[in-house]
Amino acid sequence: MSSPLRLAIAGLGTVGIGVVKIIRQKAALLEARSGRKVQIVAVSARNRDKDRGVSLADYAWEDDPVVMATRDDVDVFVELMGGSDGPAKAATEAALKAGKDVVTANKALLAHHGQELAELAEEKGCVLRFEAAVAGGIPIIKSLTEGLAGNGIDRVMGVMNGTCNYILTRMEATGQGYNALFDEADKLGYLEADPNLDVGGIDAGHKLSLLSSIAFGTQVDFDSVELEGIQRVSIEDIRQAADMGYRIKLLGVARMTGRGLEQSMAPCLVPASSPLGQLEGGTNMVVVEGDQVGQVVLRGAGAGEGPTASAVMGDVMDIARGLRVTTFGQPASTLVKSTPAQAAAPAPYYLRMELMDKPGALAKIATALGEAGLSIHRMRQYDHADNSAPVLIVTHKTTRSALDDALARMATTGVISSEPVALRIEEV
């Protein structure tokens, strides 16, 4: 019989305890499916005395995760601490240098240090797997590295932050504004300790950069992801989008073009009838378009104890079965540095602005748009009771560079009382 696969788990929060529960409760199933026992030998966390609702008495306790990562009786180091640097990075490096395989749920760590860690893993003959780092329980990493390995990938897009999707769908359902729903999400525990990681698009941007690396064979380049959060989306935007047959999503889109790698994470309008448009609450969805398979849609829980622990265990089980796949789907030495590119594919844009209530204001805006080469598909001006007039414009298809030119020209007109909201209308 094969020897047991011995794990050390660093980080005993929601996900870490979820992994412990699966291994304790499903030991026979895991052994039957992998052909060997999967067991925990050591654990580590910041607070040894905290009641976590499950007994840890059978496992060795290490105060220092770096020390635990190099124990002789450990085969796989499971990193669930989080953070792009500090103990998570130090312990992961120590584990790989000691010849241990690593499973992590840490998207920030890989978004910032993925290339060097992948190179280290391959140098030491180890695997570094991170299914749980992107879209929770959705097996998107495995799909890209294995199931879709015979495809050239044309586009990857998706809703990858459940908190933002919860806020946006609740705005539509309740008629409440962003601030009220932000507070609701906070009370429900949906927000990160630093909320801007969620609502600012950073968390989702980390995930998109990892998917881009696998899909297009490039080194991870989070710094080139164009980021825009959902803070400026108003209930009026939600209502107007719905009136036109769209819904607003924080949408990640990555594609490789002749100009370079486009990566953006920003609020977009998507057709309400599309799979992305129908996505509710905290659920995630990733859409992959391959040259052989066409469009593949994966939908599921993007966070939480069970879904994320399930993804961790998927990686653990691959290692237990002897399946060894490179970190980003091909040798790290073959990943190329991408040339960042702004999205150039023409698309219609939704614009909302507040104009000063004075003669000729709207004409100046129309002139600025025309001078930048933008034409107006539809326009609406709303009743107002103060000195500003809300105006909504939907353009015909245009490029982002032309839109930026138009916005710059509009800023010089002297008739806009606040910065316009500009959202791409993405056909999916």
**177, HSE (Cβ side, Cα atoms, 13 Å):** 5
Q: What is the mean pLDDT of residues 310-336?
A: 97
Rounded Cα gap, residues 168 and 249, in angstroms: 7
219-255 confidence digits (pLDDT tens): 999 999 999 999 999 999 999 999 999 999 999 999 9
Cα angle 18-296-311, degrees, rounded to a multiple of 5: 10
Residue for token pair 């890209």 = 144
The reply to whether 349-425 shares the fold of 5-133 is: no
Domain covering 5-133, topology: Rossmann fold (3.40.50)
Q: What backbone torsions phi and psi does residue 388 show, to the nearest 5 degrees?
A: -125, 150
Q: Which pLDDT does position 384 carry in this prediction?
A: 65
Q: What whole-number percentage of the chain has pLDDT above 90? A: 87
Q: What residue segments make up the domains of the chain, in order of their start?
A: 5-133, 146-300+335-341, 349-425
d(C-alpha 197, C-alpha 104), whole Å: 19
Mean pLDDT of 204-226: 97
pLDDT tens by residue, 76-124: 999 999 999 999 999 999 999 999 999 999 999 999 999 999 999 999 9
Burial of 98 (0-12, 13-18, 19+ CB in 10 A): middle
Cα Rg, the chain, nearest whole Å: 24
Helix spans in 226-334 (H): 235-243, 305-321
Neighbours of 376 (CB within 10 A): 14
Q: Which of 227, 226, 257, 233 is nearest to 344 (CA)?
A: 257
Q: Which residues contact 77 (CB under 8 A, 6 or more apart)?
A: 7, 8, 10, 68, 69, 91, 92, 95, 100, 101, 102, 103
The sign one gets for the Cα dihedral 17, 23, 24, 26 is positive
From CA 232, how far away is CA 420, in angstroms rounded?
10
CATH number of 349-425: 3.30.70.260
Q: Is the pLDDT of residue 1 over 60?
A: no
pLDDT tens digits for range 135-152: 989 999 999 999 999 999
Residue 175 near residue 242 (C-beta atoms within 8 A): no
Average pLDDT over all residues of the chain: 94
CATH of domain 146-300+335-341: 3.30.360.10
Query: Please, which residues have CB within 8 angstroms of residue 390's CB and are 6 or more apart in sequence?
Result: 236, 352, 353, 354, 355, 381, 382, 384
Say what the pLDDT of residue 385 is: 62
Instruction: Give the global pTM.
Output: 0.93
Between helices 361-371 and 400-411, what is the axis angle to 10°? Answer: 140
For helices 202-216 and 107-123, give the axis angle rounded to 10 degrees.
Answer: 30
For residues 193-214, give the mean pLDDT: 95
Q: Is the dihedral of CA 367, 344, 205, 109 positive or negative?
A: negative
Residue 122: left (phi > 0), alpha (psi -120 to 50), or beta? Answer: alpha
Q: What is the mean pLDDT of residues 174-191?
A: 90
Question: Measured at the alpha carbon of residue 303, what is the angle toward residues 299 and 305, in degrees to the nearest 5?
Answer: 125
Which one from 100, 107, 207, 249 is the annotated catalytic residue? 207
Longest dimension (CA), the chain: 85
Per the annotation, the verdict on 249 as an active-site residue is no
Q: Is the pLDDT of residue 304 over 80?
A: yes
Summarize pLDDT for 3-35 with one digit per residue, the tens. Answer: 999 999 999 999 999 999 999 999 999 999 999
